[in-house]
Amino acid sequence: MKKINVLSHSISLLGLSALLAGTVTATFAADKKLVVGFSQVGAESGWRTANTDSIKAEAAKRGIDLRFSDAQQKEENQIKAIRSFIAEGVDVIAFSPVVETGFEPVLQEAKKAGIPVVLSDRAVKVSDPSLYVSFLGSDFIEEGKRAGNAAVKLTGGKANIAELVGTVGSAPAIDRKKGFEEVLKSNPDMKIIMSQSGDFTRAKGKEVMEAFLKAPNAKDINLLFAHNDDMALGAIQAMEEAGIKPGVDIKIVSIDGVKGAFEAMKDGKLNVTVECNPLLGPQLFDLIEAAAAKKEVPKRVVTQEGVYEQSQAAAELPKRQY
């Protein structure tokens, strides 16, 4: 399994605990219970559920007072939650942004209140980088490139591609598409002929795939690129109901590496999944505790992840934690 090289200005998750461990937790234990406000995107996928579970479990393990809010995939809910955290006077705010833009005003409010902000899983676009102290998460562009390279390998560089895009305006949807299309630039016989958002959900992925299969050029599709596994699993159901053999008649590449994807690969219905690790709780709270103690933290922390093919699925499946 290949690994991503950590960027020169970043630090890997594996080294983060060692860097930040030690006196941070003890400092807060001696003074008061650390209060953290966390706004989650929602519960749109198995990946997100595993991410939430990891964060809640780690907060409980460390004795942290976690004020958790589910935005239900709505930016306005997330902004309200952050304003509520500011009003409550929490020690640190962390959140996984629904989309990249629109958060600058509320982040300015947090900065004015002296509350450090940590981004988890997804990034934001702001004119002032000091509005957050650190961003922990995957390199989504690299994930898109890995998916693109897997697609080239599967099809010999000749493909008519249907694309299930993630939530419009979200960092993973934007960057995974960008990385995938960078690979296509050097493979002119690979073309995206259909592309639509499935909003990162299984139900929407099935619905959009059903529409793709009713299009006049549906028979031209020989590869599906799904921005996450849940949409791919929904698409697999749509294919089977239409009498198409997923993974055979239409090759499938998706991103996340959830257990359901490995089960589908084991059954020959999905060809490749690009890993995106959701178990960020321990590393996230290392950053949060350091930020609360006003310690210097890395601005960008990139996870290390791999790419899995059908041949690896049976051996890997028992190891998956999500």
Higher pLDDT, 18 or 293: 293
Same domain, 238 and 171: yes
Of 243, 210, 261, residue with least CA distance to 50:
261
Cα 240 from Cα 293, distance rounded (Å) = 54
Whether residue 5 lies inside any domain: the answer is: no
- Cβ(155)–Cβ(223) below 8 Å: yes
Higher pLDDT, 15 or 104: 104
What's the pLDDT at 321? 87
Cα 63 from Cα 44, distance rounded (Å) = 28
Same domain, 269 and 293: no
Cα 54 from Cα 159, distance rounded (Å) = 38
Whether residue 317 lies inside any domain: the answer is: no
Query: What percentage of residues in the chain have a pLDDT greater than 70?
Result: 90
Same domain, 209 and 294: no
Whether residue 121 lies inside any domain: the answer is: yes
Q: For 283, list phi and psi in degrees, rounded to 5.
A: -70, -35
What's the pLDDT at 31? 58
What's the pLDDT at 14? 43
Write the CATH number for 238: 3.40.50.2300
DSSP state letters, 130-193 = GG-SEEEE--HHHHHHHHHHHHHHHHTT-EEEEEEE-STT-HHHHHHHHHHHHHHHT-TTEEEE
What's the pLDDT at 4? 35
Whether residue 322 lies inside any domain: the answer is: no
Boundaries of domain holding 259: 140-276
